[in-house]
Amino acid sequence: MRLPLLALAAAAFGIGTTEFVIMGLLPDVAADLGVSAPAAGMLVSGYAIGVAAGAPILAILTNKWPRKTALVGLMGLFILGNALCALAPNYALLMAARVVTAFCHAAFFGIGAVVAAELVPRGRRAQAVALMFTGLTVANVLGVPFGTAFGHLLGWRSTFWAVTVIGVAAAAALVAWLPKAIPMQAGSILREFRAIGAAQVQLALLISTLASVSMFTVFTYIAYILRDVTGFTAQQESMVLLLFGAGITVGGLAGGKLADWKLMPALASLLAAVAVVQLVFSWTSHFPVPTLFTLFAWGMVSFAVVPATQVRVLDKAKGAPNLASTLNQGAFNLGNATGAWLGGLMISAGLPLTQLPWLGAAVAALALLAVGVSASLDRGGRVAA
């Protein structure tokens, strides 16, 4: 099953690159299009809102499609959206192109995560999902820093052309390596929507949203922090993001193993660690070397949360795995949009960039509280049983 999982990871790499590379290019895009930093930050929010809005729409449209057909078709939409980003002549059209690109995101990761989990024994589901999401983490290790450097060298539009090419290669891998006969869940989309209304499913989606808000309150404006607070140059910024991506890769793989071992204790511990690391970053961001260590640790604990939340949703939405998994990606990106918006509000209010991690830590604490409530409901259910 390695080749199908590799094909899913390759597509995840392309999607992750186009989502996150904009962070490192925000100053360049803002200067080229003549908009402010908060307005440029809304390109992150616009993408995330597109993911959240596209999640239920694409879930309904692709519900009866064969899984392989759905995944390849979604990559076609991804290729189109990135080509439009590269061609966009102004801010409004770039925003529209980002939204088009985002529409494929939730459905692809939602369906892909279910497919990855079905390709392996039950005891290795979180690791299979984590392997697919390795493409997302490698996007942060290689795609984001090299895409950022590429954009600095040849202009930010060249980065989106490069991602378009990656999308074509990923689509070819899906066609070649995904099996034709992938099991599909029988039943109506209305029944699936009823299934996700359960309290535990909603709590799982809330945890994903809050974890994402915590991260993107800070990460959306990481280029400004690295340049204006820490003192890194634009060229050094790319290498710093490479280190952050290395932490993400380690965390994503470790998170899969932890989730297969003891999901809820691992999730609680990781969210507590996210809060602590962000508080530390509010101080270390003033110093180059401590910033490097902190960003590695932050990337590691932040993305270790991802496979755990994905499997938690699948566990609690057994009657609607495809829809719930897709909506979980929408929840994650709703958090992206909210985090970027909250961070922009703080900047617009004149608060220093070093206070962004304090807000991120507070939101991580709220996510930890939601984990506690969900775990309590688990124990109550067992007692009742």
Which of these, 74, 75, 71, 245, lies nearest to 163 by C-alpha position? 75
Does position 383 have pLDDT exceeding 50, yes or no?
A: no
Tell me, what's the pLDDT at 382?
A: 53
Evaluate the CA torsion angle 73, 79, 81, 84 in order and state its sign: negative
**What length is written for the chain?**
385
Band (pLDDT 50/70/90 cuts) for residue 162 is very high
CB crowding 40-79: b at 16 or more within 10 Å, else e:
bbbbbbbbbbbbbbbbbebbbebbeeebbebbbbbbebbb
Assign a CATH topology to domain 2-180+189-377: Growth Hormone; Chain: A; (1.20.1250)
- Of 61 and 17, the structure prediction assigns the larger pLDDT to 17
Average pLDDT, the chain: 86
Tell me, what's the pLDDT at 189?
A: 64
Instruction: Mean pLDDT check: name the lowest of 4-8, 191-195, 277-281, 345-349.
Output: 191-195
**Domain positions in the chain:** 2-180+189-377
Q: Which element (helix H / strand E) includes 64?
A: none
Q: State the pTM of this model.
A: 0.74
Contact at 8 Å (CB) between 258 and 308?
yes
